[in-house]
Structure 1
Amino acid sequence: MKLILIQPPIQDFYETKIRLQPIGLAYLKAAIKKFLPNITVKILDFHQNFGRKTISLPSELNYLREFYPCPDISPFCTFYHYYHFGADFKQAAEKIAQENPDIIGISILFSSYFREALTLAKEIKKVCPVPIIAGGSHVSAEPLSILQSPWIDFVIYGEGEKPLIELLKQFQGNKQFEQVPNLGFKKNNKFFLNPKKPNYPFEELPLPDLSDFSLNNYQFQKKPLYFITTSRGCPHQCTFCSAKSTFPIYKKRSVENILEEIKIRYKQGYRVFDFEDDNLTFFIDDMKKLCKLIIKEFPQNKIRFLAMNGISYLHLDNDLLLLMKKIGFTDLNLSLVSSDESVLRSCHRPHTVKKFTQIIQTGFKLKFNMTAYQILGLPHESISSMLTTLIFLARQPVLIGPSIFYLAPGSKIACQFSPLKEKDFFLARSSAMAIETKHFSREDIYSLFICTRIINFLKQFDINTSLNNLLLSHKTSNKRINIGLEILRKLIYEKKLHAYTGKQFVELKKFKWEIFYKLFSRLKFITSKTGQKIFI
């Protein structure tokens, strides 16, 4: 029996190129190899290394044309072109058919890209009519909606290793699918979802099998990159997060087990390790122990660690930050969400602004490159509250990572809205700016988003000066910086924001001057990444 596991292409305004390693599929392959060694498994990544092509903007996003009206090469650019990232659907299907699989598994991680997975499944069925299984985070949140597709035969929701292996056993045996945990299947034109049962203990799972990819297939700054997960799930209950639909219980691996994985991958040639945990440092003492063991085990400056999925600042302290710096962490991605304590409480988020400030101060002393993430457009948050958070972050030695809120299927906050439909799944992306409330409009969120770009632009200047002096007297040979300064001058004196196409300035009519004015009239100063200040 041969199983093909697929990472499908996606379509969007942008992609996150460095976070494409299909580690979930690699875990599945390794588990099958361990428990069902007679089954051949191959992973095909149809997203990475296939380039991109411009495609038409989907009709559901036509309302964005007014917000993204032209190409923009300025420092404050948003989006314009809509792309297909990855292999052509038909070509991918033909490639799969050439493998002569008996079963196919397709990953649907993000709700906004479920259509691409179903389109690929449709094309596969035309040339390779074998059973198709769908799994991944979106399937875990909305299993029935995916199972109802005519191109999908089975779904696995929740953790996938044990359910997939039990399903494959049934394919080899009596096909009693009702005995497979976490499985959705079809019978007599009816849909069935079997109860969930616990997965194999995380510690007992074999290391992800990446044998289908070369060492250089996934890189960070031209060095081989390896995704590592020390835990699954998160003990917190943040209402905007859907992680618990896949991992309802937080589970972790031992420090010794994690270190052994790093040692194995280092011998294989990996030099950059990205922790993809939802809450890497929850057990802070274990993380300290891991850092100390890494310091003993590996040569200094020969290995680099990242946590691109973010780190909970609630579970950091001065000692741990120092250890993380020593083992090769250079960047910290910290999710503030909001500086409004009432907003944090409403999100069931136990974090505090006081703790965040302490971590930022220590991180600055240790010379970390820090990015702090703010959610723009939480349904219950006001414009005033969002502005207050933006002002707070502007005064910290961090870059601001704006994340525009969207309804994540499976999240608690999504339950406060009408039942989500397929269009809502498609719009579950920041670039869609899909959510408006009585507190704010789409124009407000768009304007706040661009304001974060303006602040980050000013944070790059490593000088103590005033904004007025910067705009009037700063000279540089950097064309893009000069464009940014010219746009800021126009914004302040004409009260209009412009894009720059490379040939001309184009007014962005959806940008609200009032938002910019409210922000900068309260701002007083902006702190750069190096601690310098630009006074407003």
Structure 2
Amino acid sequence: MKIKNVLLIVPSTDKSWKKDLKNKIGTAPLGVASLSSMLKFHGYQVKIVDMLVECCTPKELLRVLNEFKPDIIGISATYTESILVTYKIVKYIKKIMDIIIIAGGVHVTFRPKEALDNGFDYVVLHEGEATIIELLEYLKVNLEPKNVPGIAYRDKDNKIIVNENREFINNLDSLPFPDLLSLKLSEYMTPLAIVTSRGCPGDCIYCSSRAMSGKKYRIRSAESVFSEVFYLSKQILFDDSLLRSYLAIYDDTFTVNRKRLKLFCKYMISSKMNVIPWKCESRIDVLDEECIALMKKAGCFAIHVGVESANQHIIDSLNKHIRFENVEKALSLLHKYGIQPLCSFIIGNHMDTKETLQKTLEYIKHIIVDYNARVAISPNTPLPGTELYENASKYNIIIHSDNWEDYSLMKVILSTHYLKREDIRNIYVEFSEKINSLEAGT
């Protein structure tokens, strides 16, 4: 079959949730943009449609299909809360044209049979850049891709086949920069964003990062990271809507490799690129005064850390492997150097009680007042691929909903040994109101 035009679609949820999902994600779809770059590098024509910011009605989608005339379609199926809308999109497209549709992303990596049962022809598991290129080569010559690692599909007998996993990409510097310029960047809350590493050595029970990207922490070089920042900075000059933007570095732990961090910061300072404000993600246990001071000089204005609870035994039960006393030290240092702490907490951990949550609330009040921290909270939401979801009974939690649209990190879907579902819902509302009041200064 001829494959030249590849349409990549990022689904939204229904209209009532679209704004909330856009605000939570806030940035361009970096995974899809990375696939676009790889496909273009191999000679394909690519169009990205991000339904969070464009084309959300069947009529508009039909127009795109008629104008672009794709030979194959790829759909990002990462977010659990939007997966049902994703399946509706697949069924709609299948009704109006005979075309192969490929899924990729976190949710379908852990639920490939579900994706195939809902109309997808192939599922790309875990990382997609190398897999999608090899899969398309097989499809061009009408070969069954039984030797393509990292995919799931139905064979000619309608049997579901899940091939062996593909090895993760070790040399991330070999990948082209994500194709952000094909997106309507001005439509995103955080239009300028990069990812500089993959994999996670941690084993937090609420996170699927390790299961999705492997336990080996793989990093791009400081030179590669700086080059992408430099490239993006030049695009700002040609788009007035991006002039007030900041750069977001969305690694789970950008600061874990101190040598790379220091080198990147030195490049930013020596090139005077530190006029571009940037924020990143970190862990409490890999922040010290030397690095914080250097990051401030390099243009860093905010660092996000996951605290999750103000109780050490709760933190330990999550396999987070940090000491709570180090949270206070790190936040104090960030405040000292004028870097805003961005802290996240989980409400309704499996070991939480009303008393432990009250202690967490008091600590949240303290860091907002004394350290000018911005705080994000979410109800405990076990997502597919996490230890907490896959082994819920082990942690004495009951998941009350099997409707994927409820897995939005804003709805309470579980009860624990210590807290009823209604208890968690009421506490979540109370926390939200008090945090909003404190941050507003009222």
Q: Structure 1 length normalisation: TM-score?
A: 0.73
Shift in Å, 1:174? 4.0
Inter-partner Cα distance in structure 2 for 1:422 and 1:432 = 10
CA contact (8 A) 1:147 1:154 kept: yes
Identity between Structure 1 and Structure 2 (%): 25
- Larger deviation, residues 260-269 vs 13-22: 13-22
Return closer, same or farther for 1:110/1:275 CA change in 2, 3 Å cut-off: same
Partner of 2:103: 134
Unpaired stretches in structure 1, ≥5 consecutive residues: 51-85, 463-480, 482-536
Partner of 2:310: 339
Equivalent residue for 2:39, pick from 32, 39, 44: 32
Determine whether 1:91 maps to 2:60.
yes
Shift in Å, 1:459? 2.9
Q: CA-to-partner distance for each residue in 1:415-448, whole Å, 9 max, x for gaps?
A: 2226999925333222220111231123322222
Return closer, same or farther for 1:257/1:129 CA change in 2, 3 Å cut-off: same
Unpaired stretches in structure 2, ≥5 consecutive residues: 237-241
- Larger deviation, residues 396-405 vs 139-148: 396-405
Partner of 2:21: 15
CA contact (8 A) 1:182 1:196 kept: yes
CA contact (8 A) 1:6 1:104 kept: yes
Partner of 1:408: 383
Inter-partner Cα distance in structure 2 for 1:429 and 1:385 = 24
Return closer, same or farther for 1:460/1:30 CA change in 2, 3 Å cut-off: closer
Shift in Å, 1:461? 7.2
Inter-partner Cα distance in structure 1 for 2:80 and 2:274 = 41
Q: CA-to-partner distance for each residue in 1:372-421, whole Å, 9 max, x for gaps?
A: 21100112322221221221222223343211111110011112226999
Q: CA-to-partner distance for each residue in 1:16-40, whole Å, 9 max, x for gaps?
A: 4362402111111111222x22x22
Larger Rg: 1
CA contact (8 A) 2:400 2:413 kept: no
Determine whether 1:373 maps to 2:348.
no
Inter-partner Cα distance in structure 1 for 2:115 and 2:68 = 25
Return closer, same or farther for 1:443/1:304 CA change in 2, 3 Å cut-off: same
Inter-partner Cα distance in structure 2 for 1:125 and 1:256 = 44
Partner of 2:279: 306
Task: Look up the SS of the partner of 2:402 in the other structure.
Answer: helix
Shift in Å, 1:360? 0.9
Partner of 1:316: 287
Which ranges of 4 or more aligned residues in structure 1 deviate by more than 4 Å?
Answer: 418-422
Determine whether 1:277 maps to 2:251.
yes
CA contact (8 A) 1:162 1:199 kept: no
CA contact (8 A) 1:94 1:127 kept: no
Inter-partner Cα distance in structure 2 for 1:420 and 1:161 = 34
Q: CA-to-partner distance for each residue in 1:154-195, whole Å, 9 max, x for gaps?
A: 111110011101101001224231111111111212111111
Task: Look up the SS of the partner of 1:146 in the other structure.
Answer: helix
- Larger deviation, residues 86-95 vs 185-194: 86-95
Aligned AA for 2:416?
A: T
Determine whether 1:357 maps to 2:320.
no
Q: How does 1:33-52 map to 2 (within 5 A)?
A: 33-34=40-41, 36-37=42-43, 39-48=44-53, 50=54
Shift in Å, 1:237? 0.7
Task: Look up the SS of the partner of 2:154 in the other structure.
Answer: strand
Higher helix proportion, which one? 2
Task: Look up the SS of the partner of 2:135 in the other structure.
Answer: helix
Partner of 2:239: none
Paired residues in the alignment total 417
Equivalent residue for 2:132, pick from 164, 186, 209: 164
Shift in Å, 1:236? 0.8
Determine whether 1:196 maps to 2:171.
no
Inter-partner Cα distance in structure 2 for 1:16 and 1:6 = 15
Q: CA-to-partner distance for each residue in 1:445-480, whole Å, 9 max, x for gaps?
A: 222223323432453477xxxxxxxxxxxxxxxxxx
Equivalent residue for 2:5, pick from 2, 6, 9: 2
Shift in Å, 1:235? 1.6
CA contact (8 A) 1:295 1:327 kept: yes
Task: Look up the SS of the partner of 2:307 in the other structure.
Answer: strand
Partner of 1:105: 74
Partner of 2:417: 438
Inter-partner Cα distance in structure 2 for 1:422 and 1:92 = 31
CA contact (8 A) 1:273 1:305 kept: yes
Inter-partner Cα distance in structure 2 for 1:402 and 1:99 = 41
Determine whether 1:226 maps to 2:196.
no
Q: Structure 2 length normalisation: TM-score?
A: 0.88
CA contact (8 A) 1:409 1:425 kept: no
Return closer, same or farther for 1:422/1:105 CA change in 2, 3 Å cut-off: farther
Q: CA-to-partner distance for each residue in 1:192-241, whole Å, 9 max, x for gaps?
A: 11111214431211111234235534354xxxx32111101222110110
Determine whether 1:268 maps to 2:235.
yes
Return closer, same or farther for 1:423/1:275 CA change in 2, 3 Å cut-off: same
Equivalent residue for 1:153, pick from 96, 99, 121: 121
Inter-partner Cα distance in structure 2 for 1:421 and 1:246 = 25
Aligned AA for 1:412?
A: E
- Larger deviation, residues 269-278 vs 350-359: 269-278
CA contact (8 A) 2:399 2:415 kept: no
Task: Look up the SS of the partner of 1:10 in the other structure.
Answer: coil
Return closer, same or farther for 1:27/1:399 CA change in 2, 3 Å cut-off: closer
Shift in Å, 1:323? 2.0
Q: CA-to-partner distance for each residue in 1:348-386, whole Å, 9 max, x for gaps?
A: 111111111101111122233323211001123222212
Return closer, same or farther for 1:454/1:45 CA change in 2, 3 Å cut-off: closer
Equivalent residue for 1:212, pick from 182, 205, 227: 182
CA contact (8 A) 1:228 1:275 kept: yes
Equivalent residue for 1:239, pick from 195, 198, 205: 205
